[in-house]
């Protein structure tokens, strides 16, 4: 039985109940089996307003009540407009600019970290004499700032440019590095839980090594002072750990004024002091140990860290989850963009 697809037939069907919407599946099958034709595409020869209006009315009618029999070829032209977006894949602007916005923040943050790191080195004169980098006895916090800033800057650049230029290579690089960092974080977390004693020993040795270089680097000095003041601790395990520093050591014949003392960050703060007393730790360890607790903190910073972690376990877990979610969002956006770009290239 032939199917009439004239304009009058479509007008008549507008008044029919929508009882055959399920026949849309038959129309899908027919369209997939025929060569697609876009009636309003450039070069098709029919782009007038009248044709577009006729197609729009036909589309509405066919969606309301499709015939039970296979769709007539002329009707297939009308249905083509409904499925037009599936025949012309394109990169999603939403994902594209979400990816750009996501990475521009990290790109700028990475640039700021790098600038801060080089500024800190210039203040210490390292940029004028690069050999000073190898002369430090402890850990230079500027290295951490530069490494984090460099990685963040490179990833932000790859994500921004890869999204704007629709560059698959940069997007794959971005998602691959983020995935590697995520896997590395999980590995470190698992190893820290499994090998707790070894991690504790490593942190203790690291802290002692930096006590030796306390006076050699102003940034390291500020980092240790902040750690001791925030956690109300002194040394790695006890105040006597400061014997490892040549300026605070009670051993030897040096004439340092800080001999047998501790840094001011070990001192118990006095509410009556309106000005910071940086000499409060002088000669403290010349006194009897039972008197130390009145002037300085006697708890080691490793012990303080072990006590702090269980109390703030939920905070640490929350921070880890937020970082992981940000990384997974970045990977998802990158992989979605890659899929869209590859689909467009394949269609051409």
pLDDT digits (tens, 9 = 90+) for 281-332: 898 998 888 889 889 999 999 999 989 988 898 998 999 999 999 999 999 9
Average pLDDT, the chain: 77
What tokens does 91 get?
Answer: 């990169």
The C-alpha atoms of residue 11 and residue 68 are separated, in whole angstroms, by 18
Residue 185 binned pLDDT confidence (cut-offs 50, 70, 90): very high
Question: What is the percent of the chain with per-residue pLDDT over 70, rounded to a whole number?
Answer: 72
The C-alpha atoms of residue 230 and residue 221 are separated, in whole angstroms, by 14
Query: Nearest-CA neighbor of 329 among 97, 90, 91, 98?
Result: 98
Per-residue pLDDT at 2: 40
With contact defined as beta carbons under 8 Å apart, do 149 and 141 qualify?
no
The C-alpha atoms of residue 227 and residue 272 are separated, in whole angstroms, by 23
Helices (H), the chain: 7-13, 24-33, 49-64, 73-82, 84-87, 93-124, 141-165, 168-194, 196-212, 218-231, 301-311, 313-347
CB-based contacts of 258: which residues, under 8 Å, 6+ apart? Answer: 247, 248, 281, 282
Per-residue pLDDT at 241: 93
Per-residue pLDDT at 134: 66
pLDDT at 61 over 80: no
The C-alpha atoms of residue 316 and residue 311 are separated, in whole angstroms, by 10
Residue 136 binned pLDDT confidence (cut-offs 50, 70, 90): low
CB-based contacts of 269: which residues, under 8 Å, 6+ apart? Answer: none
Question: What is the percent of the chain with per-residue pLDDT over 90, rounded to a whole number?
Answer: 41
């Amino acid at each position: 039985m032939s199917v009439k697809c004239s304009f009058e037939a479509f007008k008549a069907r507008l008044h029919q109940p929508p009882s055959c919407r399920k026949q849309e599946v038959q129309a899908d099958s027919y369209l997939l089996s025929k060569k697609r034709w876009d009636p309003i595409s450039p070069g098709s020869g029919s782009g007038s307003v009248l044709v577009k209006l006729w197609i729009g009315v036909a589309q509405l009618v066919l969606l309301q009540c499709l015939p039970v029999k296979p769709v007539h070829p002329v009707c297939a032209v009308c249905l083509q407009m409904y499925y037009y977006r599936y025949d012309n894949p394109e990169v999603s602007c939403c994902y594209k600019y979400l990816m750009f916005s996501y990475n521009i923040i990290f790109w700028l943050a990475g640039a700021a970290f790098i600038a801060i790191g080089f500024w800190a080195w210039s203040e210490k004169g390292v940029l004028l004499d690069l050999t000073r980098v190898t002369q430090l006895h402890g850990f230079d916090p500027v290295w951490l700032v530069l490494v984090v800033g460099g990685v963040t800057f490179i990833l932000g650049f790859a994500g921004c440019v890869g999204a704007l230029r629709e560059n698959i290579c940069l997007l794959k690089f971005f998602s691959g590095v983020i995935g590697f960092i995520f896997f590395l974080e999980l590995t470190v977390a698992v190893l820290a839980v499994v090998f707790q004693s070894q991690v504790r020993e490593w942190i203790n040795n690291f802290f002692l090594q930096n006590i030796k270089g306390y006076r050699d680097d102003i940034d390291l000095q500020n980092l240790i002072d902040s750690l001791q003041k925030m956690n109300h601790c002194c040394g790695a395990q006890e105040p006597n750990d400061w014997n490892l520093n040549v300026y605070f050591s009670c051993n030897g014949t040096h004439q340092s004024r800080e001999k047998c003392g501790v840094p001011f960050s070990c001192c118990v703060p006095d509410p009556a002091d309106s000005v910071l007393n940086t000499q409060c730790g002088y000669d403290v360890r010349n006194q009897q140990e039972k008197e130390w607790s009145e002037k300085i903190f006697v708890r080691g910073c490793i012990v303080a860290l072990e006590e702090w972690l269980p109390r703030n376990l939920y905070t640490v877990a929350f921070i880890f989850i937020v970082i992981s979610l940000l990384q997974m969002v970045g990977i998802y956006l990158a992989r979605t963009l890659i899929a869209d770009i590859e689909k467009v290239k394949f269609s051409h």
